Structure 1
């Protein structure tokens, strides 16, 4: 996709250059500056996950994906842009899973209350799948990855039909907030019963309020033409509070959740291009919370017999030796440390980079007996993993190796080892 986008942009640039014949040196400089601004805007959109057209920005997240439940998942999504309206917007997507033979979709829209603070009110209706045990921040929807390798191996999903109303508001240039009220009907695509209050629940109704804050106190803003390009500074912090209300719009459970994450990068601008990245995250769920809304700490290893059978693609911040659906928690903390060494300057086009990695997870669960028809463990003894990656060996591909040790070390040596591809591209 990146290759095609670059070529499309290149063709547009050639066409634009041919349609403007400068008569003066000043005109030439003006055109060069305008082209530079257009290029910056284009790649800013691509980096946010959208391919811009005149009135609609195509959402790149829905073009093609793959997972164990849906198989190939493909579709189309997008949102209207400021050329159509600066006060109103529409967004949506429709996708189809070739293995489960089902369509999923979402449709929504919003209106702007304030341009200065970028305050929007949005409404949406979604009929889709979500990974069981996954935890996402509302403010993360502005972040995008071209390739999410962990999705290839996910098998445990729940289906949800969700109606939401949300308020997006930039409190300060460094503090972004989003508040959401939602009403969902949820059922699992696997055998699972949540037994609580002497009642066995196969389907759940939820009414949830969420408040998410993204604080980037060290970000900087660089003017490019008539826009300010935001550059990441570290550390940054994300906090999200969720509350489910029983009997509100027919909801079944009361529970409370708090999620936190901070990312810190040390010596990002050193001359030898080496740096260290640390990511600390945690979550807490209190009350009667079904497995769908608990935590799995992002495992990324297939439950197969040999290393070769488990060979797949390494994730960005996942535990490569932890098997899918092996552990769940209602409280957890993880720490991931990555040290990026100076790239090896083999040639102009081949500059692989080695990354040393250490990961730790701690978690536990109260009332584990509530979760029936499914078996899993907890992380109360502490989970340890160490590894290394050699990235960007050829065409963005590299290799990853990880080893599981500590209290959850397995009897067979090969069951503790994960060997995988990595894939990294950057604009």
Structure 2
């Protein structure tokens, strides 16, 4: 039996090899280009967070995550692809939290209005959690990170049921837009009361309009076969405006938010190993805005006594010495600077890279007494930390060290120090 299996394996190998051999010598370049195109398309989809199959692309974001409230969060998500239809699409996910013992899900679909401008109208229904104080850009869902380490330590969430209709549109090759109208019911998973207009709210009804713009003026485009590949250029800019309307579909509050982010990267060599990166973010919320829709400053430190007890995973753009839920703001700005040195060429598979890091945040809050049953500070004195990372020491893992100084320096030295490991992978 093993002999016949070996013969079968040999025949399959020969057949596979012949399928790749060009019929003419001049066709060699065509085969190579086709293989390169297939690989480029595959890795582009993986880089966007999807594993392609014939008719459905599996959404990698929902396979496995972990946070302090849900514990292990796992499930399955996906979207239909162009092989099924290039004019209509369906998408959705179902996940389960093993600590809170609840399912969360979303279902949606869309239809294409224009192929040239990539204009889509989308509908969605979502029943899920969101981190309190987080501010996400609508256009960010088109971008994907393989590993989001900061999620491991988050414990402050609110639950929302949201119905939304949105319009995606590429205004120019360099300017993406998304407009969304939504209606949400929001409840916190922690004790919190929003006291405004002589009324105590523990549940919030929201009717919002959002406009998000992603401008990448220095992106470049390359056509491989029939696929256009886009390479990120710097600086790039993201702006989002949100307006919540009181008494529209039963909404409770009037407020306005504006969020901004810009990222700049300066290469110091042709390979791109040595570079400096700067990220500036800011936001402002006016009107009667509950804590759920205000801002934290990307904290990533657990409130435990010793450095070793706080040892976890460093984030990508988070304040490693800032404790979770320590600060909230209705207006804030952060600046993060990173300088990547050339990797140390110790061995072929051992090339760690040192990164110097400096971070600064400032913010404040009006009417802080509206937010009851929670305690937090503001960033009006300015928050500073500095540190370094040694990345990719072994199998993508490295180490991170940061020190908190300035206006919010703590009396005990150890409370100002954060030591963590990092994880970086490259396709």
TM-score by length of 2: 0.95
Partner in structure 2 of residue 25 of structure 1: 25
Q: Which residue of 1 aligns with 2:390?
A: 390
Deviations, residues 235-265 of structure 1 (Å, cap 9, x unaligned): 0000000000000000000000000000001
**Over the residues paired in the alignment, what is the CA RMSD in angstroms?**
1.3
Partner of 2:349: 349
Q: CA deviation at 1:16?
A: 6.0
Task: Identify the residue that residue 220 of structure 1 maps to in structure 2.
Answer: 220
Pairwise CA distance, 1:324: 0.2
Provide the C-alpha distance between the structure 1 equivalents of 2:345 and 2:122, rounded to a whole number of angstroms. Answer: 48
Cα deviation code 1:274-308 (max 9, x no counterpart): 11000001000000000000000110000000000
Shift of 1:353: 0.4
> What residue number does 2:312 align with?
312
Q: Give the match for residue 194 of structure 2.
A: 194
Residue 294 of structure 1 aligns with which residue? 294
Return the alpha-carbon distance in structure 2 between the equivalents of residues 326 and 14 of structure 1.
64
Aligned to 1:5: none
Aligned-partner SS, 1:336: strand
Structure 1 partner of 2:71? 71
Match runs of 1:11-410 below 5 Å: 17=17, 19-267=19-267, 269-270=269-270, 273-410=273-410
Q: Are residues 380 and 242 of structure 1, via their aligned partners in 2, closer, same or farther at CA, if it must alter by over 3 Å?
A: same
Q: Which aligned runs of 4 or more in structure 1 are off by greater than 4 angstroms?
A: 13-18
Query: Could you tell me which residue of structure 1 aligns to residue 6 of structure 2?
Result: none
Q: For 2:138 and 2:271, how far apart are their aligned partners in 1?
A: 36
* DSSP-derived class of the 1:283 partner: strand
CA deviation after TM superposition for structure 1 residue 268, in Å: 5.3
**Separation in 2, partners of 1:14, 1:186:** 61
Q: Distance in 2 between matches of 1:17 and 1:199?
A: 74
User: 5+ residue gaps in structure 2?
Assistant: 1-12
Q: Structure 2 CA distance, aligned partners of 1:30 and 1:363?
A: 57
Shift of the 188–38 alpha-carbon distance from structure 1 to 2, 3 Å rule, reads: same
Q: Who is 1:422 aligned against?
A: 422
Aligned-residue offset at 1:273? 2.7
Q: Deviations over 1:365-413 (max 9, x none)?
A: 0000000000000000000000000000010000000000001000000
User: Using a 3 Å threshold, how does the CA distance of structure 1 residues 18 and 130 change in structure 2: closer, same or farther?
Assistant: farther
CA distance in 1, matches of 2:183, 2:222: 40
Q: Which runs of 5+ in 1 are unaligned?
A: 1-12
- Name the larger-Rg structure: 2
Separation in structure 2 between the aligned mates of residue 357 and residue 50 of structure 1, nearest angstrom: 31
Give the distance between the partners of 2:403 and 2:321, measured in 1 at CA: 7
> Structure 1 residues 317-326 or 259-268, which shifts more?
259-268
1:10 aligned residue? none
TM-score (norm 1): 0.95
Q: Quick one: distance in 2 between partners of 1:274 and 1:110? A: 42
When residues 17 and 363 of structure 1 are mapped into structure 2, their CA distance, relative to the original with a 3 A threshold, is farther
Query: 1:156 & 1:328 partners in 2: Cα distance?
Result: 12
Q: 1:15 to 1:78 in 2, by over 3 A?
A: farther
Instruction: For 1:224 and 1:297, locate their aligned partners in 2 and report how far apart those are by CA, in whole Å.
Output: 41
Query: What is aligned with 1:4?
Result: none
CA–CA separation in structure 2 for the residues paired with 1:136 and 1:414: 32
